[in-house]
Amino acid sequence: MKRVGIIYRPRLPRAQELACELERKLNACGISSWQCSAREEAEAALQAVGSDLIVSIGGDGTILRAVHVASRLSLPVLGVNLGRIGFIVELSVEDFWANLPGIIEGKGRIEERAMIEVMFSNASFHVLNEMVVGRGATAHMAHVEMAIDEDVVTVYRGDGVIVSTATGSTAYSLAAGGPILHPLSREMVVQPVSCHLAPSYALVVLPQSEIVLTPVGSREVTVSLDGQVDLPLSLGTSVRVRLSSRVARFLRLRDPDHFYGSLYNRLREE
Q: pLDDT per residue over 124-154, tens digit each?
A: 999 999 999 998 767 788 999 999 999 999 9
Same domain, 94 and 151: no
- pLDDT surpassing 80 at residue 259: no
DSSP 29-58: TT-EEEEEETT-HHHHHHHHTT-SEEEEEE
Residue type, 267: L
Residue of 52, 60, 230, 255 marked active site: 60
Phi-psi region of 119 (alpha: psi -120 to 50; beta: other; left: phi over 0): beta
Phi, psi of 46 (to 5 degrees): -70, -45
What are the tens digits of pLDDT across the range 33-76? 999 999 999 999 999 999 999 999 999 999 999 999 999 999 99
Residue 52 bears catalytic tag: no
104 and 171 together in one domain: no
The pTM for the full model equals 0.92
SS3 label, residue 166: coil
Range of lowest pLDDT (201-215, 228-242, 249-263): 249-263
Give the domain range for residue 76: 3-108+253-269
Per-residue model confidence (pLDDT) at position 200: 82
Question: 149-167, pLDDT tens digit by residue?
Answer: 999 999 999 999 999 999 9
Mean pLDDT within 195-223: 90
Residues 163, 165, 170, 171, Cα dihedral to 10°? -50
Work out how many domains the chain is built from and give that number. 2
* One domain, residues 119 and 222: yes
CB 110 within 8 A of CB 249: yes
* 173 plus 68 within the same structural domain: no
Q: What is the CATH number of the domain that holds 121?
A: 2.60.200.30
User: Looking at the structure, do residues 58 and 134 belong to the same domain, yes or no?
Assistant: no
